[in-house]
Chains A and B, each alone.
Chain A
Amino acid sequence: MTELTLIQGVNQALREAMKADPDVVLLGEDIGVNGGVFRATEGLLKEFGEDRVMDTPLNESGIVGTAVGMALYGLKPVAEIQFLDFIYPAFDQIVSELAKLRYRSGGQFPCHVVLRAPYGGGIKGGLYHSQSTEQLFASIPGLKVVVPSTPADAKGLLLSSIFDEDPVLFLEPKRIYRSLPGEVPDGDHRVPLGTARVAREGSDVSVFAYGAMVPVAQQACQGLDAQGIHAELIDLRSLVPLDEAALLRSVEKTGRAVIVHEAPRFCGYGAEIAALLAEKALYSLKAPVVRVTGYDTPFPYALEHLYLPSVDRVSRAIERTVRAA
């Protein structure tokens, strides 16, 4: 065990994977000499050389397309998209190619690429360094979508993603890259994809969150203990595949659900969870499902703190749900 930050967990996972398997290669903008703008790839160029840590020209479609070609030949490329906000030139490669190659070739050309992208708000990044658009990617069959919220999960989920057999979009909550260090197991630590984590047990209400919203929700839950409200917090960790069983188990116990995400509410990932509960847990519910989300506007700069779900907003929503019935 070593105490690491989330970004160090990412860095360690990359290093472990590269040491374990010479087919693992990294590519992206500023990831070599500069070690990544967030330093996720710090030291890796020096350790593994230019053939395995490639600084690319400034073109995301080129990055993803090239990674696809590498994967078709059997390499395990891990591409960094500098910010999720800059992934859109590559949307075509992701939607039309990466996520479909296995299917369209009848399994002959599986295409295992990991795309790492810092995402989410909280760093005063304005419109183009803050967005959460995980729902766009979660709705594309063939792609897995993973979001860690702790340093240990960052390492364990990234290692599992790199050695998975399907393409994975690995979203890194940059707001908590450094702010919440935690114990991380040494060596080849893996957390299986598709398993949620019970971050906190409780009996009155289930709170579902992922990424940087997990610590926000955690704080809200803790604050409510004093009022006799015992909230259970589930960190989804993996949006696709979703650990449905864990969600249902929790709601069957508590009868109430609050979903927290930074992305806008409309057609957000929370809608999928709400639909799941309506389909499979309706008779367990004692109160309407509540979502606490970003607003249905582009992401602001100056008023960011009012846009993002805060501890206060989450607490009020939990309280409201519990008091409703």
Chain B
Amino acid sequence: MARPSGPPRESPLSVQAVPVTSGRAPEGLTAADRKRMLRVMLLSRALDERGMTLQRQGRIGFYVPVEGQEGAQVGCAVALDPKDWLCPGYRETAVALSRGIPLRQLLSQLYGDRADLCQGRQMPNHFAFREFRFVSASSPIGTQIPHAVGLALAARLKGEKVVSVAFFGDGATSSNDFHSGMNFAGVYRAPVIFFCQNNQWAISLPRSKQTRSETLAQKAEAYGFSGLQVDGNDVEAVYAAVKEARARAIAGGGPTLIEAVTYRMGPHTTSDDPRRYRSAEELALWKSRDPVERLKETLVREHALTEEEFDQFLEAARAEVAAAIQEVEPLPPPDPGTLFDDVFARRTPQLEEQRAAFLAELPGSGGRKE
């Protein structure tokens, strides 16, 4: 028997061809709209800049940068209705900002302080904002995908004309929950959009080793609905793709998988060092496709934006982030007693007992309880 070779080696520069888009603004997206989108992208980038630094300075414990994926995130979020449900992963900060979630609230979550709606229970960037239909993000990969299907079915049952969107990455397409979620959505023709940001890397595993499938988009065919690949660094192309998928879902046409081909320009998180597994050339190539730069260039070309205006936007974004940090950083940590809240709707007798003992033992509680 001819012994087949092991898994083929991939060139570190092997990245997928990115489809060319027309460059024409999708219908309904004015220059003013696109400038607003640009500003959100800049705000996200400014938050990334500071977030990474705050972590290095030990002022927050961890950070997950979006850098490079702002186009995909903002393009998608803007194409949705405010009533649509979002099931994010932990790298959806630009989606949250697009939704209009106040920067202060995001920062409180990063700091895990008393104003954090989740009482500092999760690691940074694991946002949850019910008011904005932004469902609580979790660290396990892909678990949110079937949740989006359930939300979509519930919305349909209630007669609401909304869709749900599952956000996930290339790595998540290997997860069990991708398979379950996609299959259920196909069988029930659920009004859901599977928004896959293929940022080329699942921590250190390149997209080419995640699956032998030629594109991630074609995985939709295995579940009986359509998938499309879109240039994720072209905010307008993403917007158009999501708009169309949304219209189809609302019209009862079932789910769509959108593979937004993009790139994670930063590390996976502050705990990661991407130089260990990818080349500087590859990073440089993708920096030349920076979604922020691309949108800026388009607007400048159309005379809808000047360089000076862009610089002002950037400065404004940085100032907004700095002001919010100043406001949020002094807030105290959550009340220790909250440790025992929200485990169940009401604390059980065991939890009451543990809470009482815990509070009595806290420094400054006035002595021990023997």
Q: Do chains A and B touch in the complex (CB under 8 A)?
A: yes
Please give the residue numbers on chain A whose beta carbons come within 8 Å of chain B beta carbons, in ascending order. Answer: 29-30, 32-35, 37, 49-51, 54-55, 57-59, 61-62, 85-86, 88-89, 124-129, 265-266, 295-298, 300-303, 306-307, 313, 316, 320
| Residues 329-357 of B contacting A (Cβ, < 8 Å) | 333-334, 336, 338-340, 343, 348, 350-351, 354
Q: Decide if A58 touches B141 in the complex (CB within 8 Å).
A: yes
| Chain B interfacial residues counted at CB < 8 A | 52
Q: Is B226 an interface residue (CB 8 A)?
A: no
Most chain B C-beta atoms within 10 Å of own C-beta, residue among A30, A49, A62, A300? A300
How far is B334's CA from A262's CA once the two chains are assembled, in angstroms?
21
Q: Decide if A302 touches B121 in the complex (CB within 8 Å).
A: yes
Given contacts A89-B140, A296-B354, 6 further A-B contacts (CB under 8 A): A30-B204, A33-B276, A49-B6, A58-B141, A300-B120, A306-B362
Q: Decide if A58 touches B336 in the complex (CB within 8 Å).
A: no
The secondary structure that dominates the A interface is: loop
Chain B residues whose C-beta falls within 8 Å of the C-beta of A126 in the assembled complex: 121-123, 126, 139
Please give the residue numbers on chain B whose beta carbons come within 8 Å of chain A beta carbons, in ascending order. Answer: 6-7, 9, 61-62, 112-113, 116, 119-123, 126, 138-142, 171-172, 174-177, 202-205, 209-211, 271-272, 276-277, 333-334, 336, 338-340, 343, 348, 350-351, 354, 358, 361-362, 368, 370
Chain B residues whose C-beta falls within 8 Å of the C-beta of A266 in the assembled complex: 350
Q: Decide if B211 touches A124 in the complex (CB within 8 Å).
A: no
Q: Decide if B140 touches A88 in the complex (CB within 8 Å).
A: yes
Q: Decide if A298 touches B121 in the complex (CB within 8 Å).
A: yes
Identify 21 residue pairs between A and B in the complex whose beta-carbon atoms are under 8 Å apart, listed by A's number.
A29-B203, A30-B205, A34-B203, A49-B6, A50-B6, A55-B209, A57-B209, A58-B172, A58-B174, A58-B210, A86-B140, A89-B175, A89-B177, A124-B61, A129-B123, A296-B350, A297-B339, A297-B351, A298-B121, A301-B123, A306-B358
How far is B140's CA from A129's CA once the two chains are assembled, in angstroms?
9
The secondary structure that dominates the B interface is: loop
CB distance from B282 to the nearest CB of A (A): 13
Q: Decide if A302 touches B6 in the complex (CB within 8 Å).
A: no
Q: Which of A35, A129, A302 interacts with B113 by CB under 8 Å?
A: A302
Q: Which 9 A-B pairs have the closest CB atoms?
A: A302-B120, A34-B204, A128-B139, A302-B112, A126-B123, A57-B174, A58-B171, A124-B61, A58-B174
Given contacts A33-B276, A58-B171, contact A301 B120 (CB under 8 A): yes
Chain B residues whose C-beta falls within 8 Å of the C-beta of A50 in the assembled complex: 6-7, 9
Residue of B nearest to A51 (CB): B6
Q: Decide if A302 touches B276 in the complex (CB within 8 Å).
A: no
Chain B residues whose C-beta falls within 8 Å of the C-beta of A29 in the assembled complex: 202-203, 205
Chain B residues whose C-beta falls within 8 Å of the C-beta of A298 in the assembled complex: 121, 343
How far is B205's CA from A89's CA once the two chains are assembled, in angstroms?
19
Chain A residues whose C-beta falls within 8 Å of the C-beta of B122 in the assembled complex: 126-127, 301
